[in-house]
Amino acid sequence: MKMQTLAIVAAGLMATTVQAEPIQIIEPAVITEPEKVELGKKLFFEPRLSKSGFLSCNSCHNLSLGGVDALPTSIGHNWQEGPINSPTVLNAKYMLAQFWDGRAADLKEQAAGPIENPKEMALPHDVALEVLRTIPAYQDEFAAVFGDQGITMDTVTDAIAAFEETLVTPNSRFDQYLAGDKNAITEVELEGYELFKANACSACHNGPAVGGTSFQKMGLVKEYITDNPELGRYNVTGKESDKNVFKVPTLRNIELTYPYFHDGSVWDLTEAVKVMQEVQLGLPLSDEEAEKIAIFLKTLTGDQPQITLPILPPSNPNTPRPAPFK
């Protein structure tokens, strides 16, 4: 009986190996609450959610730049140097948790953090809420979307998350390939994909976002040398074994989201593949093979969200004023 069960499982695994792809197609966003999404978009671009009145979510998750700032680590209030590379907001809904260390369970929980983080937007939540509550257009929009729940951090982050849920990048050439169009990628790109699988990159970089499905140690087979002191998952769990463990980043739009890794130390994609091979896998990989994997990875660039820039309602005389230089 036990042998029989094992045989069935083994057969199932073999079938999986033969047929299933480690990467799944992502679908275009289906917007069921357009007013909430529109409000969330305004808040995403709202610099008055920062102490300076100058920084918004879009400052570090720039939707013109693949949802990142394309800097090693971010610039925060008063030009403070951030501790870690800004992860892309694109396809972030597919992540098992948010932030590199996964300390936020979901997009909604994530959105509250940077607003009040003194190294990021540096605005206490109570002031952020007062800003929004003193602006009649926001009062009206929150009432329309959230009824008598009003303007709270709960509704603010709910709206931002609803907008971020729409930030997916379907229709990459690789998705077209997965959907059956075998001509959507070139022979070299396909070779790169085969190498990606054969070298176990897909052991961690899998699922619809080609990542974001697990936490893994950075430096699995060889220590990863970095000046960046961040300890990753250890911050959340306090477990020794979680030191240098980070959420596996998405590889979708990786062509746009340089520089790479949590420390933003590598700018070139082929070099990033080689570093991964060295510290995570330890498998032999020639320069040519690394190059082919990088070429494949560029097929993961999807349709970027088409965003009409929101027009933000003006402050009132009683709206708390920005304090950029205090």
Please report, in range form, the residues annotated as the binding site.
Answer: 57, 60-61, 77, 201, 204-205, 276
DSSP string, 199-214: TTGGGTS-BTTTS-S-
Q: Of these, 39, 69, 84, 276, which contacts a second copy (CB under 8 A)?
A: 69
> How far, in Å, CA of 261 to CA of 246, rounded?
10
Q: Of these, 29, 31, 35, 62, which contacts a second copy (CB under 8 A)?
A: 62
**Which span sits near a second copy by CB under 8 A: 53-61, 122-130, 194-202, 276-284?**
53-61
Binding flag, residue 229, a second copy (CB under 8 A):
no
Cβ nearer to a second copy, comparing 97 with 273? 273
Yes or no: say if 153 and 160 are a contact pair by the CB < 8 Å rule: no
Residue positions in the annotated binding site for heme c? Answer: 57, 60-61, 77, 201, 204-205, 276
Q: Of these, 33, 35, 130, 255, which contacts a second copy (CB under 8 A)?
A: 255
Cβ nearer to a second copy, comparing 192 with 302? 302
Binding flag, residue 40, a second copy (CB under 8 A):
no
Q: How many residues bind a second copy (CB under 8 A)?
A: 39
Q: Of these, 17, 32, 314, 326, which contacts a second copy (CB under 8 A)?
A: 314
Cβ nearer to a second copy, comparing 38 with 109? 38
Of 254, 71, 259, whose CA–CA distance to 172 is shortest? 254
> How far, in Å, CA of 213 to CA of 96, rounded?
5
- Give me the least distance between CB of 316 and a second copy, in Å please: 9
> How far, in Å, CA of 170 to CA of 301, rounded?
9
Cβ nearer to a second copy, comparing 59 with 172? 59
- Give me the least distance between CB of 324 and a second copy, in Å please: 6
- Binding to a second copy (CB under 8 A) within 110-129 occurs at none
- Give me the least distance between CB of 18 and a second copy, in Å please: 35
Binding flag, residue 324, a second copy (CB under 8 A):
yes
List the alpha helices (DSSP H) in 207-302: 234-237, 269-276, 287-297
- Give me the least distance between CB of 212 and a second copy, in Å please: 21
Nearest 5°: CA angle at 59, between 58 and 62? 55
Buried b (16+ CB within 10 A) or exposed e, 87-114: bbbbbbbbbbbbbbbbbbebbbebbbeb
68: helix, coil or strand?
A: strand
Of 248, 250, 297, whose CA–CA distance to 270 is shortest? 297
Radius of gyration of the chain (CA): 22
Binding flag, residue 70, a second copy (CB under 8 A):
yes
Residues recognised as catalytic: 120
Nearest 5°: CA angle at 209, between 205 and 211? 25
> How far, in Å, CA of 258 to CA of 260, rounded?
5
- Give me the least distance between CB of 284 and a second copy, in Å please: 24
- Give me the least distance between CB of 181 and a second copy, in Å please: 23
In the complex, which residues of this chain contact a second copy (CB under 8 A)?
45, 47-48, 52-54, 59, 62-66, 69-71, 75, 78-79, 81, 255-256, 258, 267-268, 304, 306-312, 314-315, 317, 321-322, 324-325
